[in-house]
Structure 1
Amino acid sequence: MRWQGLIAVPVVLGAGFAAVASSPATVAATEHTEPVAVTAADGSTGVGVLPADPATARPVRGAGSTAPDPAADLPPAVTVAPGQPSPVLAGEGPLAIPELVLYAYRAAEMQLAISEPGCVLPWHLLAAIGRITSQHADSGRTDVLGTLTTARVTPGTGRLGPMQLPPAVWSQFSTDGNADGAADPQNVFDAALAAGTWLCSDDARLAEPDARARAAARFDPSPEFVSNVQAWSAAYEKGAAVSPGIVVPPPMPPAVPARPNTVDVAETVPAPAVEPDPAPAPVGATPPAAPAVEPPPAAPVLPPLPCLVPALCPAPAVP
């Protein structure tokens, strides 16, 4: 599964959330004084932690519901070229996921990779279901632990929280996904892990698209819902795989061409040997005598040449 630059959420959350007071099981509104400003999918600002204004009522499709057909809300085509910012990680756009909610999906995927390795649950399947059921926890309106500021309970069906889990499913698969010491269906970490555990039950194997379609049908068996989940899941998977940037290596310096018919003199002429300086004589010592210089050898004396032509020979000396 392709993903760039994500943190190990279960470890971080387990260490950080254990030190924070746990939230109650049903939260109507929680006050936040330091929200992080980022544009969410619905035009509001925040990254998983938003001011505690009540969320706009959004009907959930199901038995007896008058909510619009989910097939009418399909994802856009992912046309971002490699090297451009990821539309899933960006803070705006139809494919953007609030940061804390994205961490919840990823934390559930990593936890189930340990507890249910044969299931191979992808985070983007949970993201697709969470997008359709609650618009990613009401576009990230949660407290710092991931609990909805406005609790979600669907009239008639009683489905709970950001993943809209049936009450019987939550009762069977409830879990503490953020290590705060409480299991809360209104918490996006708890709900995402419970939903993933439900989808992986009965020895489910979700590596293939057909298996993921059968898993989505557990939430709503209508062909429109299943098709929409598949479309959003594929869009999130492709959008998250977009590189956040291209790293361009620095240009190499140009090579200096060698001149033809040239010889490196330093390689052909050996360097002269350097003799070490003699050790200094001790103080008060008599300097050594200079060595005697021998005279050069004398040149040999040659005998006189005989005169071979009498007319040219000099007269003999008179005694």
Structure 2
Amino acid sequence: MAAHFGRRLRKGAATTAVAAAAVAALSASQAPGVTVDGQGRQTTADATPSPEEAADGAGATGNSPYYTDLPPLNSPNPSPSAGTGPVAPGVTEAGIPATVLDAYKKAEAALRERKPGCNLPWQLLAAIGKVESGQARGGRVSADGTTLSPILGPQLDGNGFALIKDTDNGAHDGNSAYDQAVGPMQFIPSTWEWAGRDGNDDGREDPNNIYDAALAAGHYLCRFGWDLSDPDDLDKAILSYNRSTEYLNTVLSWLEYYRKGTHEIPDGTGTLPVDRSDHRPVRPSPSTSATPPAPKPGSRPADKPGGAGQSPKPSDPGSGSPTTPPPTTPTPTTPPPTTPPSTTEPTPTDTVDHLEDAGTAKLTAQAGDPFAQRISTRAETDAGKAVAKVRIRFTIFGDTDTTFAGGESVATVVTNASGVAVAPALQAGEKTGGFAVRAVVVGRDIPGVAYEATVTERAADTLVRTGDAALTCTAGGEFAEAVEVKATYGGAAADRVAATATLITSADDATENDKGPYFKDAAGNAIRTLNGLETDADGLLKLPKLYADDTAGTFLLRITTAGGATLTVELTVAAAATPAPSPSTSPTA
């Protein structure tokens, strides 16, 4: 028994002294916000709610049910190796099925390269995978990572859960009336539509595949520029997955547990969770026995979040709980009266008639820069009244590498009390030209609002020399000083701006000069125009060495950049010195 009390103390299975000691030990060892109940079981139900709001009102899962089982008191450390003998209590719990573990680690590696500032640990994906599906039902996946049977949450019809009407015509969840969370990481179809990724390079984005789902979860947790090594950002990211403080604390407990030590176990041998967030004890009605009916042959409780629910648990052996004796006479069975379905109050989403632009300014930015303007959309009823708490999805369309902050091309934002949803800031890529952003109501088939945006080339409005030394040389020689300039735009350094340098004929004639100073190409030939120049990260541009032919005089070098910045530099070539005549010799008499 002592080996198991870190996981759970059953009623009557320990003395009062042992139970008290276990409670004290658990209380002292768990993460903040996690407590233990009178039976020594860990719980997060009484944790103080976090003030942070999730970025997306429904989260990745639509706030579907999740497993509330918490980890054992101690993680095996060091982690055991496979096949080393009997498995100690807690070791199986710490193990992660091989294919599932591989998917988490590959997702971490991909995010380390794609979004290094996010600092995503694979243990966070493992913690969420444990809470959402018990690591794909203990690793019941095929060789390519696809679950052997679908893992579906309950239909989100507003009956004890969120109300999210069908958004995928049943393509992922088989339900054309309401959405359901799908797969080992429990994405709702409307979120998977933009968050889905191909993690196993098979050309498909399948929420039922652990490689695809883990990579999608990683990108989801890394949006908005969150740094998951920052505890505040970590909390925000987890709450955006499921808006529940209990969910946050449960995930954090598993995260800490996996960080202390875990190991690989064979697929299909993982421990299945038991408790779910939507499980509530069934209270008997006055006319029925308190003892739950015996299960039908072959039936079993739901083994995943999103099943129909779990059967009530029988009293633990030795608990001393009274049992109600069966009635001495059979109770007549009367068919329940047929009750018409209750009328569900319309959700805010149901009342939206149209979307309006909420005063978005002209959207333009230079390549590589953030857009100063942000898109604002207002949800309204047919009477023009604002509708709050509606999810608006913003999607970038067109041939562009511009993204929202965080690197995503889709963002979902909930309207505020004024009915307005403000999209995350746009970050311009390197492709110039126009593109569009479309705003639609999630869960409604009504016209959206399109916003046009433009990315212009990088530009400078000012050019200045970084030095003031005179640029001179002797005919046939070379200039000792190289020409260096700095480009700025609006007073800030203009980085990676295209530039051209030309030795021009005169101040009024910008055609290329055919004499005087020149540059050399790779073959050593004289050239007087340099194209394809670009300023560095600090806006600096240093030109190659200049040479002079035999022509003396004053010459001009003109540098121009994208955006119209121009600088003309004066170059002076002095005539070569005339050699003195050698002394004459007197003729011999």
Q: How does the TM-score come out when normalised to structure 1?
A: 0.51
Partner of 1:49: none
Partner of 1:75: 71
**Cα drift, residue 147 of structure 1:** 0.3
1:170 to 2:192 alignment: yes
- Pairwise CA distance, 1:78: 2.7
The code of the aligned residue for 1:98 comes to P
**Larger deviation: 160-169 or 116-125?**
160-169
Q: Secondary structure at the match of 2:132?
A: helix
Distance in 2 separating the partners of 1:176 and 1:62:
22
Q: Is the 8 A contact 2:182 2:188 kept in 1?
A: yes
Q: Distance in 1 between matches of 2:150 and 2:94?
A: 24
What are the within-5 Å matches in structure 2 for residues 97-108 of structure 1? 97-108=96-107
Residue 77 of structure 2 contacts residue 260 of structure 2 at CA under 8 Å; is this kept in 1? no
Query: Aligned-pair distance for 1:183?
Result: 1.1
In structure 2, distance between residues paired with 1:64 and 1:96: 25
Mapped to 2, the partners of 1:200 and 1:215 lie a distance apart of 7
1:141 equivalent in alignment to 2:140? yes
Name which of 219, 224, 227 aligns with 1:205: 227
Are positions 1:85 and 2:84 aligned together?
Answer: no
Alpha-carbon contact 2:118-2:226 (below 8 Å) kept: yes
Q: Structure 1 residues 143 and 119 mapped into 2: Cα distance closer, same or farther (>3 Å)?
A: same
Q: Is the 8 A contact 1:125 1:212 kept in 2?
A: no
Residue 203 of structure 2: aligned partner? 181
Q: Deviation per CA, 1:130-166, whole angstroms, max 9, x where unpaired?
A: 0011000111111110000111222223111100012
Alignment correspondent of 1:219: 241
Instruction: Measure, in 2, the Cα distance between the counterparts of 1:201 and 1:142.
Output: 28
Compute the TM-score of the two structures, normalised by the length of structure 2: 0.28
Q: Which amino acid aligns with 2:126?
A: A
| Structure-2 separation of matches of 1:142 and 1:164 | 15
Distance 1:74-1:86 versus aligned 2 partners, 3 A rule: farther
CA–CA separation in structure 2 for the residues paired with 1:93 and 1:119: 30
> SS of the residue aligned with 2:70?
coil
Which letter does structure 2 place at the counterpart of 1:188? I
Partner letter of residue 160 of structure 1? V
The one-letter code matched in structure 2 to 1:239 is G
- Aligned pairs (5 A) from 1:1-319: 70=68, 73-78=69-74, 80-82=76-78, 85=80, 93-157=92-156, 158-240=180-262
User: Once the 2 structures are TM-superposed, how far is the Cα of residue 240 of structure 1 from its aligned partner?
Assistant: 3.8
1:218 partner SS: helix
Q: Classify 1:173/1:231 alpha carbon distance in 2 versus 1 (closer, same or farther; 3 Å).
A: same
Q: Secondary structure in 2 aligned to 1:104?
A: helix
- Matches of 2:77 and 2:105 in 1, distance apart? 24
- Preserved CA contact (<8 Å) 2:63 2:242: no
SS at match of 2:217: helix
Post-superposition CA distance 1:264-310 (Å, at most 9, x none): xxxxxxxxxxxxxxxxxxxxxxxxxxxxxxxxxxxxxxxxxxxxxxx
1:157-194: per-residue Cα shift (whole Å, max 9, x none)?
31111000122221111111011121100000000000
Q: What RMSD over aligned residues (CA atoms) do the two structures have, in Å?
A: 2.6
> 1:215: Cα distance to partner?
1.1
Given the superposition, is the C-alpha separation of residues 161 and 222 from structure 1 closer, same or farther in structure 2, using an over 3 Å criterion? same
Q: Which has the higher contact order (CA 8 A, sep 6+)?
A: 1
In the TM superposition, residue 64 of structure 1 has moved relative to its aligned partner by 7.5
Cα distance between partner residues in 1 of 2:202 and 2:62: 31
1:207-227 deviation per Cα after TM superposition (whole angstroms, max 9, x unaligned): 123322221111222111100
Alignment check: 8 A CA contact 1:119 1:203 kept? yes
Query: CA separation in 1, counterparts of 2:202 and 2:144?
Result: 8
Separation of aligned partners in 2, 1:104 and 1:162: 11
State the secondary structure of the residue aligned to 2:237: helix
What displacement does 1:86 show? 6.5
Deviation at 1:112, TM superposition (A): 0.4
Q: Which residue of 2 aligns with 1:55?
A: none
Paired AA for residue 85 in structure 1: P
- Contact in 2 for aligned 1:86/1:239 (Cα 8 Å): no
SS in 2 for 1:217: helix
The structure where strand makes up a greater share of residues is 2
* Percent identity between the two aligned chains: 40
> Residue type of the partner of 1:175?
R
CA change 1:146–1:64 in 2 (3 A) is: closer
Q: Deviations over 1:16-71 (max 9, x none)?
A: xxxxxxxxxxxxxxxxxxxxxxxxxxxxxxxxxxxxxxxxxxxxx97585x77x2x
Question: What is the letter of the counterpart of residue 121 of structure 1?
Answer: L
Question: Residues 183 and 207 of structure 2 are in contact (CA less than 8 Å); yes or no, is this contact kept in structure 1?
Answer: yes
Segments of structure 2 that go 5 or more residues without pairing to the other structure are 1-60, 157-179, 264-589
Compared with structure 1, are the counterparts of its residues 64 and 97 closer, same or farther at alpha carbon in structure 2 (3 Å cutoff)? Answer: closer
Q: Is the 8 A contact 1:108 1:192 kept in 2?
A: yes
Q: Distance in 1 between matches of 2:95 and 2:207?
A: 23
CA distance in 2, matches of 1:211, 1:151: 32
Mapped to 1, the partners of 2:64 and 2:219 lie a distance apart of 27
2:345 is aligned to none
Structure 2: how far apart are the matches of 1:93 and 1:100? 16
Q: Distance in 1 between matches of 2:71 and 2:62?
A: 20
Structure 2 CA distance, aligned partners of 1:145 and 1:133?
20
Question: Which amino acid counterpart does residue 120 of structure 1 have in structure 2?
Answer: N
Cα distance in 2 between the residues matched to 1:208 and 1:191: 24
Structure 2 counterpart of 1:165, which letter? F
Counting matched residue pairs gives: 175
